[in-house]
Chains A and B, each alone.
Chain A
Amino acid sequence: MRRLLNHLTGRGALRDAEMAIVLVVVGAVFVWLMKSP
């Protein structure tokens, strides 16, 4: 539990949030481009 709390409040959480946001952005651009052809 302590490790999870450390993760959620530390740099790991920021890194995970960044990954989630960028993955969705990349995915959205991908769908947008693939919709063209």
Chain B
Amino acid sequence: MSQKKPLYLAEANVLWIIIAVIVAIDAIWLPLSGITITLGPAFLIGLTTLAALHLVYTRARPHKRIAAFALTSLQLVVFTVAGTFLVYLTVTSKFPLIDRYLVAADAVMGFHWLPFFNWVKDHPAADRAFGIAYDSAIFQIFVLLIVLNATGRLERAREFTWVFILTLLACVILAWLFPAESAWVYFGATDRVDAYHVADFTALRAGKMTEIILTKTNGLITFPSFHAALGLILIIASRRTFLFSVFLPLNLMMIVSAITSGGHYLVDIIAGLALVPIAILMWWKLKRMEASQ
């Protein structure tokens, strides 16, 4: 009688296939675009370390929680890096910018970006708090994954990984078809912020970027906001753990901070949040398929 694989191992192969498809798209698109990429030795060393730890704790010295964490980290990193290159490539498609439609959508909801931005900038304490919340994303993922794996909530960690990847994938596709420069640029506020993405975004659309250096890449997605989506994902992933009481207010703040610290329109935030339940439904569907096998 064959023994059923634990869910975190069986669905991991499906996720590797999705990641491989993204890597393959990059591999085909990059030479066609004439752009080269530089990964750097640090990336390769880090990736090898994670793969080696996964191998050691799967085969040589089995430890389910460590192996699961190494696998989850590996998949998140490989997907994020492949996804980052894909975002850069999609910008070269130069589809029409939709900023004015996003501004119009905000106006329909009664939200006016510039007065809100100016209010935050005129209140340094609020601006700093939003900045800290916005920059806390990776650290929160680090804490969340350690807590989930250390306490044996492996399926929750896998749920987080899947929802993160599916949501980011949806953001990449939507941002490709409906590109926007960001509210910072549209409202001429770039002198009051570090508009880190503008140089790359402009160079890619002008066909002037010939090399993408991984360590110097930036987030180029305006619509929908992945930061807002990630805020909701982190709240949901921390449910019924001691992290929830900290993650709830911090991530509500991160979601709002995407407007000022990320240059997003309000409609970007709403669209980002709307993607999360869809990704969760897909994860549930996958789990049901797995259970019925």
A interface residues with partner B (beta carbon < 8 Å): 15, 18-20, 22-37
Give complex CA distance A23, B145 in Å: 9
Q: Is A30 touching B149 in the complex (CB atoms < 8 A)?
A: no
Nearest residue in A to B83 (C-beta to C-beta)?
Answer: A37
Q: Is B69 touching A26 in the complex (CB atoms < 8 A)?
A: yes
B interface residues with partner A (beta carbon < 8 Å): 40, 42-43, 46-47, 49-50, 53, 57, 63, 65-66, 69-70, 73, 76-77, 80-81, 84, 138-139, 141-142, 145-146, 149-150, 214-215, 217
Q: Is A30 touching B145 in the complex (CB atoms < 8 A)?
A: yes
Q: Is B70 touching A26 in the complex (CB atoms < 8 A)?
A: yes
Contacts between the two chains (Cβ within 8 Å), count = 71
Interface SS of A by simple majority: helix
Give complex CA distance A30, B63 in Å: 19
Q: Is A26 touching B150 in the complex (CB atoms < 8 A)?
A: no
25 contacts between A and B (CB under 8 A): A19-B63, A19-B65, A22-B53, A22-B63, A23-B149, A26-B53, A26-B66, A27-B69, A29-B46, A29-B73, A30-B141, A30-B145, A31-B139, A31-B142, A33-B43, A33-B50, A33-B77, A34-B138, A36-B43, A36-B81, A36-B214, A36-B217, A37-B80, A37-B84, A37-B214
